[in-house]
Structure 1
Amino acid sequence: MPRNIAILDAYVPTILLLFLAGALFTWLFDRVLALTGLYRVVWHPALFRASLLVCVCGLLGLAVYR
């Protein structure tokens, strides 16, 4: 996979696109967790959301750059 992708003649790092995809996936997963009420068993929801974003983006980065 290339390290940079050209979008409208501007080079964008691949990791930025992975972060945006990870943020979208995390937001969707967060909505599902909120609608099902599973945040009642989470100690600190904001910390859980941040950790989830880091884990998802890390997994996407490992999948692409491996």
Structure 2
Amino acid sequence: MTGHLNVYGVYVPVLLVAMLAAYGAKSVIAAVLRRLGFYRWVWHPPLFNLALYILVLGALFNLVPRM
């Protein structure tokens, strides 16, 4: 992995792509948890959402192959 993706001649950092994918995945997970009523048990929902985003981002970044 060089750290950049070539998208039609524009180099995009892999971390940016992982961050956007993690935000989308976090949004889906948060919507499911909200629908299930999980947030009734959470003390500080914005802090929980930040922690969830960081966990998803870390998981996605570890799945990216390294060269």
Q: Is this a same-fold pair by TM over 0.5?
A: yes
Q: How many residues align?
A: 66
The whole-number CA distance in structure 2 between the counterparts of 1:65 and 1:52 is 22
The answer for unaligned runs of 5 or more in structure 2 is none
User: For 1:10-44, what per-residue CA distance to the aligned partner results, in whole angstroms no more than 9, with x for missing partners?
Assistant: 10011110111100000000000111111000111
Which position in structure 1 is the counterpart of 2:47? 47
The answer for unaligned runs of 5 or more in structure 1 is none
For residues 1-66 of structure 1, the aligned pairs below 5 Å read 1-65=1-65
The whole-number CA distance in structure 2 between the counterparts of 1:65 and 1:48 is 28
| Structure with greater helix share of residues | 1
Deviation at 1:65, TM superposition (A): 4.8
TM-score (norm 2): 0.88
Identity of aligned residues (%): 36
